[in-house]
Amino acid sequence: MSDRSQTQPAVAVNPEAGEHRVVADPELLAACERAIEVTYERHPYYAARYSERGRRFSSSDSGWLARLGTADPDHAWGQVSWLAQVLAARGMPTVLLEEHLALLAEQIRSVEGEQARADGLAGLSRRLRRARLGALDHDTFVELERDLEVRTAGESTQLPRAGLLVVSAVADELRGLEGVESSLLQWLADPEVFSPTWARAVRTTADRARAAASPVGVGQR
């Protein structure tokens, strides 16, 4: 069995990444790649917007995140919070990191002797989820994601799960992450990338999510 505490520079995984340390163990790296594959299947947004370069950074970021599973919980949370801010400013609402951490935990749990690491990552995912749902409740997410699907049914440029991203971006803004909504909508509501109908529906979803944060609530408007 290899020493899974060993690390390597991120450039060993992604030539465009920096010198920060990522896991080096082949089994952990393979688990990271499996988690990335599922993440990309669930969220076509990644490949559609960030293409192959984004995929390479997913590998280096995942290798870095995998290290945090065995770190002090408060330190790990600080690091994840920092990464969440960085990614949010680039158009990735925190729900994406939340779900990816859960998938990393699931895949790493299958690696012998790595239950503690998996538990640490799952805990970080749960903290992100609590923060997100502290801004907008679960029912609001479900309702508005479904509403966008209905509004854009039949659109050739429809992007699966876009509603979740839009509502999460608004929730992130409500809890102090600046720029995530504008960065997301700059692409997701661009009528030159998607149809005008789609772009309008996306912006309407964002408006409804912001309104849902008021005392009136989604179901009473």
The CATH number linked to 120 is 1.10.490
Q: Which phi and psi (to 5°) does residue 13 adopt? A: -100, -35
Looking at residue 158, its pLDDT comes to: 80
Is residue 22, in this structure, part of any structural domain at all?
Answer: yes
Is residue 2, in this structure, part of any structural domain at all?
Answer: no
Per-residue model confidence as pLDDT tens digits over 172-201: 999 999 999 999 999 999 999 999 999 999
- Three-state DSSP at 9 gives strand
118-127 mean pLDDT: 98
- Total structural domains within the chain: 2
Is residue 1, in this structure, part of any structural domain at all?
Answer: no
72 and 29 in one domain? Answer: yes
Per-residue model confidence as pLDDT tens digits over 129-175: 999 999 999 999 999 999 999 999 988 778 999 999 999 999 999 99
- Three-state DSSP at 21 gives strand
**Residues facing residue 22 across a β-bridge:** 8
**Residues facing residue 7 across a β-bridge:** 23
- In the chain, what are the helix, strand and coil shares in percent, each to the nearest 5? 70, 5, 30
Tokens standing for residue 148 = 């966008």
Looking at residue 156, its pLDDT comes to: 73
| Alpha-carbon span 153 to 157, nearest angstrom | 10
Domain carrying residue 186: 138-214
Looking at residue 148, its pLDDT comes to: 96
Per-residue model confidence as pLDDT tens digits over 62-108: 999 999 999 999 999 999 999 999 999 999 999 999 999 999 999 99
Looking at residue 48, its pLDDT comes to: 95
**Domain boundary, last residue among 135, 158, 180:** 135
130 and 23 in one domain? Answer: yes
Q: The whole model's pTM is what?
A: 0.93
108 and 58 in one domain? Answer: yes
Rg (CA), the chain: 18
**Domain boundary, last residue among 135, 161, 182:** 135
| Alpha-carbon span 147 to 163, nearest angstrom | 8
Q: Are strands 21-23 and 7-9 parallel, antiparallel or unpaired?
A: antiparallel
